[in-house]
Amino acid sequence: MSKVATALNPRILVFKDWPQEVVNVVCKELDKNTFRNWKELAGVLHFTVDMVETIEQKDNKTSQVLQSWNMTSLTPPTLEDLINALRKDPLERRDIIREIEQCLKQVE
């Protein structure tokens, strides 16, 4: 396995090292005002109602969720943690997971 492939391993790739393309894809898709959006991600990540209400007043809501998750987690969230969250009911956003996988292949 190359150094780049190792560095892009979702199991060890912590939030601060996620490729910007991945963050852009996640934010673009979850910021849409549709069902299974940033609010569902916040719920899967166990955000409080107060946290969600605070984020609701801001721009770039998914980015706010990701940053808050990173700041409040005991250990830095990995890309695998995000992928697992995107798989969970009621979010179930396999479309975004496929896009993340495509981004990682392009960066390798």
Q: Token digits for 62?
A: 């998914």
CB neighbours of residue 96 within 10 Å = 22
- Ranges in the chain, pLDDT < 70: 1-7
Neighbours of 2 (CB within 10 A): 8
The pLDDT assigned to 49 comes to 97
Helical axes 49-56 vs 61-72, angle rounded to 10°: 140
User: How many Cβ atoms are within 10 Å of 75's Cβ, its own excluded?
Assistant: 7
Tokens 């910021």 locate to 31
pTM comes to: 0.90
Query: What local confidence, expressed as pLDDT, does residue 7 receive?
Result: 60
